[in-house]
Structure 1
């Protein structure tokens, strides 16, 4: 399929770009990347001149404040009316995991963005615990916040986009996992509202994500407790005459200091439930919480102390089904990020072992080295196929609980092993920040720990 010429793009979405005349769902991204290439963003984010950025913090005690005052989300839509839902994707067969032409085009566009913009900025972003502002703005230009929204809500999807979202997360993870989380976090909240929101919730919040001034937003599920079980949150929601009161602590929340909207998981009358919480709500407080990995996502801890929300703040069902589906889709996104980051490891170590010489010959000639690289390739392909199968079933509206559980088990353990092997293959170089493998190893350790944050 040929890329649509920009002259045929019609106004209507971000920066006057909506879809092509044939309503190609990838039109936003193609047009956005074309616009991006015509600006100086690449130069400002390239190796020649890193964009200036403020250091977020490097200590937990270095930042603690109430949440930022959010914009005023004007209430709109019908309270008791169901929201718009994208139709499920049509698949030719259960084991057909081949990306469609549109999906492959999407992968190519985002891969170029990850290579030209994300990868060069990764080192400094990891050190600063913050994504460059120019990079975040560039991610908006290619339509990441509206990728999971149907066209009727101002998005680009003609059908359920779990597969497309998985491919995007994988491509971004290949650039840098921390920056991928930072860029995907707002779109994850928009996708959640598109999947489970009522008409009122969609009409109230989604216009902000489809406009020019996209708010930072975060999906907060993880909690700082020993043996934390994401399906049994300790954050409590108490029903009152005026709505609900939330109390608890959420950890590893991406871009929490600037987020204007949170999707918070809490236990309500014995069931886990999702709540929409605006950052201007009294009782919210955020503090810096930089971790071992995923540092570029500006991770924070979110404290909820008597946070009062209206009855309309409940997102989806209150029987735990929506919350469980959210967890599965979030784990699917983390699996995709693991696949992308593991692919980056393989791409880096393969030429390295062929060029690095010891005792007069490339170290790739050693069986122990060659077998380790081959094992990385084998495990990586297994991770990818398991993740794609789970994504395909999710997009088709089928039960994918078993598939995503298998994918997460493989990606959490094998992904971490791939990161470790990458460090080992570089020897002493694997231990220093001159090479990116040590960062990828730290990031891959998060796959089995973090819940929420991203969603497809």
Structure 2
């Protein structure tokens, strides 16, 4: 694995003072200027203007998708794309990161500490990641982590373990911002894993260049009892292409995304489709949730969206889609581990310093045992996640391992967040401390599908 493309000279990160390019941000700023004008008082529209600012900030505009880039078709449609080989692991049980993997972790940790953590509270409130954060993520090469070196990426072999380690490190800064930073790389990784030569030659050059597009993996749906392996979104054959209809939820940065990987049911089997944002029939609206708010979650509506036969990503028998879901769930496990670690790191010194009845509350067995349980559960979550990642990197079946990791991470991760709030007492309920935000983010692990991929 070559890291020359992923490290910023000097190894430090700075927050640029650039204004967000988010179109919703511009619109809100414009509405704010209107709301400050004396003219609206004279014409009796003060209340309506203030309500408009509030509504847009909370729910976002319903707009057509971004159409700022044209992807030029290249390569042969019927030719298999470049595939990176699996990792040859020794027979001994050793999950120690390699030298290259550790270097990536160090860079991601620095990014999390110096860039993500200071911006997390503001990004959560604004439901958007600052441009400076996204730029820093691009500078360290996050979008090309899973792209084969032959196609301009940094992977000489399957990067599942590296992806899990990086996701965990970023989530220690903030889970929502980590998802925002990792979303374009999820699409690039999917193209590297399953794309044809035409798809790779058409789309991956954009991800390996200087102007990396926002992109999103859209699997989640706003339906009751949603089953990730049986999407309600449909794809119907129409001549030499397909027509897609349905609604996707929790789509990361959907308002600015230029490329979507959409899951849909085709003739009874779940299939992935590449859909460019300029395709007629797409529309996006803000869809902020309880947690992961910094990821700018949106709802993507597809109404009679027509794509050609070359838009199918991977196999049409459902195998590619199932693998995508499993690798996505593995990524969410890594994010849960990182966020749970942040909770433990914050709570441990707090209970040692917080005094009640003349002594630190850590001296109480009920508190000490709870912190110990958090550490034990966290270590179990990490080991199950790393083991599943190791098998996936080697090209082995990971159905059982991912299922175990996801079950533990979604239950115990949420419990660790809750315990963190409880141990802080009244401080756990207020936004002055970040634990309440981490608790909200950890609840998303049980319901999120897609968005990220390793």
Q: TM-score, normalised by structure 2?
A: 0.91
* Residue among 261, 264, 275 paired with 1:263: 261
RMSD of aligned alpha carbons: 1.6
Distance 1:418 1:372 in 2: 9
Distance in 1 (alpha carbons) for counterparts of 2:57 and 2:353? 36
Shift, 1:59, TM fit: 2.6
Aligned position for 1:28: 5
Answering whether residue 419 of structure 2 is matched by residue 421 of structure 1, we say yes
Structure 1 partner of 2:36: none
Q: Distance in 2 between matches of 1:397 and 1:91?
A: 11
Does the C-alpha gap of structure 1 residues 365 and 33 become closer, same or farther in structure 2, counting only changes over 3 Å? Answer: farther
Q: Match for 2:221 among 201, 218, 223?
A: 223
**Structure 1 residue 242: Cα displacement:** 2.9
Q: Determine whether 1:332 maps to 2:330.
A: yes
1:326-378 CA-to-partner distances (Å, cap 9, x unmatched) read: 00000000000000000000000000000000111100000010011000000
Residue aligning to 1:112: 110
Range with greater deviation from structure 2 (85-94 or 252-261): 85-94
The residue number in structure 1 matching 2:88 is 90
Structure 1 match to 2:151: 153
Structure 1 residue 42, shift from structure 2 partner: 3.7
TM-fit CA distance, 1:176:
0.3
Aligned residues: 424
Does the 8 A contact of 1:248 with 1:304 survive in 2?
A: yes
Q: Distance in 1 between matches of 2:310 and 2:274?
A: 9
Contact 1:70–1:278 (8 Å) recurs in 2:
no
8 Å contact kept, 2:16–2:132: no
> Which residue in 2 is equivalent to 1:59?
58
Q: Match of 1:285, SS?
A: strand
Q: Which position in structure 2 is the counterpart of 1:253?
A: 251
User: Of the candidates 97, 100, 115, which is equivalent to residue 98 of structure 2?
Assistant: 100
Distance 1:288 1:195 in 2: 30
Equivalent residues of 1:218, 1:256 under 8 A apart:
yes
Q: Compute the displacement of 1:94 (Å).
A: 6.0
Per the alignment, in what secondary structure is the counterpart of residue 105 of structure 2?
A: helix
Q: Which has the larger radius of gyration?
A: 2
Gapped regions of structure 1 (runs ≥ 5):
1-23
Q: Which of structure 1's runs of 4+ aligned residues deviate more than 3 A? A: 42-45, 50-58
Residues 36, 141 of structure 1: 8 Å contact kept = no
TM-score relative to the length of structure 1: 0.91
SS at match of 1:447: helix
Looking at structure 1, the residues matched to 21 and 260 of structure 2 have their Cα atoms a distance apart, in angstroms, of 28
Shift of 1:263: 0.0
Q: Deviations over 1:111-136 (max 9, x none)?
A: 01100011001000000000001110
- Could you tell me how far apart the structure 1 residues matched to 2:162 and 2:269 are? 31
Cα distance between partner residues in 2 of 1:92 and 1:277: 40
- What residue in structure 1 maps to residue 383 of structure 2? 385
How far 1:28 moved relative to its partner?
Answer: 2.6
Which consecutive residues of structure 2, in runs of 5 or more, have no partner in the other structure?
29-55
